[in-house]
Amino acid sequence: MKLGTENKKKTILAGVLAVVAAGLLIYQFSGGSNATPDPTAPIVPAARGKAGRKPISLAHSLDPTLRFDLLKSSEDMTYKGNGRNIFSSQAPPPDIPKPVQSALQQQAAQQPPPPPPIDLKFYGYEGPKNGSKRIFLLKGEDIFLAKEGDIVDRRYKILHVGPTSVEVQDVLTNNTQTIPLSAG
């Protein structure tokens, strides 16, 4: 029966590795003076005991009596949270800033919009110089013939006819506008 020890190099290497592994296990589980410190123990600055001995660990120097002065200082503290519910997994909604209106925007909001301009053109007039004159008004391709007091295009009332202008009132918005005589 073969034990696998025919290759002497592999056998020696396996033995050395077994000795190193055994040494590491003994070092880890030994409770010697070079053992790692307790991670739960608080860290204390380098305080020395009598005659310059090793530093004293805080875990070994704790006084088991209650210190009411420390308890009182912790009772006086009040929790000032930020309003977030710690038991909710959703984030609070973001604050929506309110728009700031300037004085000009507020004044513009208070005033009604200006009425639309009258889109008629005074094209000319006909009739005697001292009698009632009839005027020609142009809107787009439409031509209207009117005299004072007439309503044109079911919206505009002719108030006064002069030799170079006509005064027209928009009956829907009560907007009065003077239209000059246009050449054309």
Residues comprising the chain, all counted: 184
Nearest residue to 135 via CA among 124, 151, 119:
124
Close Cβ partners of 122 (under 8 Å, ≥ 6 residues apart): 135, 136, 137, 165, 166, 179, 180, 181, 182
Instruction: Please give the tally of structural domains in the chain.
Output: 1
**Stretch among 96-100, 140-144, 152-156 having the lowest mean pLDDT:** 96-100
Residue 146 located in a structural domain: yes
pTM of the model: 0.40
Residue 78 located in a structural domain: no
Check: CB of residue 122 under 8 Å from CB of residue 166.
Answer: yes
Structural domain boundaries enclosing 176: 121-180
pLDDT at 170: 93
What percentage of the chain exceeds 90 in pLDDT? Answer: 20
pLDDT digits (tens, 9 = 90+) for 6-32: 788 888 999 999 999 999 999 988 865
Residue 51 located in a structural domain: no
Residue 157: exposed, middle, or buried by beta-carbon count in 10 A (0-12, 13-18, 19+)?
A: middle
